[in-house]
Structure 1
């Protein structure tokens, strides 16, 4: 049985704050991390363009954008390596390009 991991980011707002829930999910997809979050409220006087997803290796280093202007949740990261540990954050982006602060980071250990 192959396993994929689903991480749910809850409470995504214009200035994203999150609580994280880990779900263990069996499926035929292997080495996939699925990030899910609640829709952000549109910024005052503007409209939401999408979300940016960032990742870094848990041992350190800067966050790197792995997906830009994702239209909504969920997002599947299929480019993960077995045995590695990653940290993810999500931001919301408005039509003018303004980006929210990072969500609360979530750490993922790939089996």
Structure 2
């Protein structure tokens, strides 16, 4: 029979004491963080590309014996000169922005007025 105001208390079990003891000891011990090892990824050295120099390209262009252009109204000669220079530019893989500046070195007399 229960009396009024009496508290019901659960019996203390050995397992409860062990759990409580583990909690207390875990709080008392300093926490050890897991050691993080940084991941090192090998990186290849960057490839250094030298800028294309116009003088070097001009010397390579000259080695291919480009035709000189003197001007005139002969359409066949004009087309032949253009095709000759375009072929050399393709062979040397010349950037488009340098095609005209390299070819103008081979304009002579009346063609310089152009």
**Does TM, scored on the shorter chain, surpass 0.5?**
no
Q: Give 1 or 2: higher strand fraction.
A: 1
Q: Normalized against structure 2, the TM-score is what?
A: 0.22
Q: Give 1 or 2: higher helix fraction.
A: 2
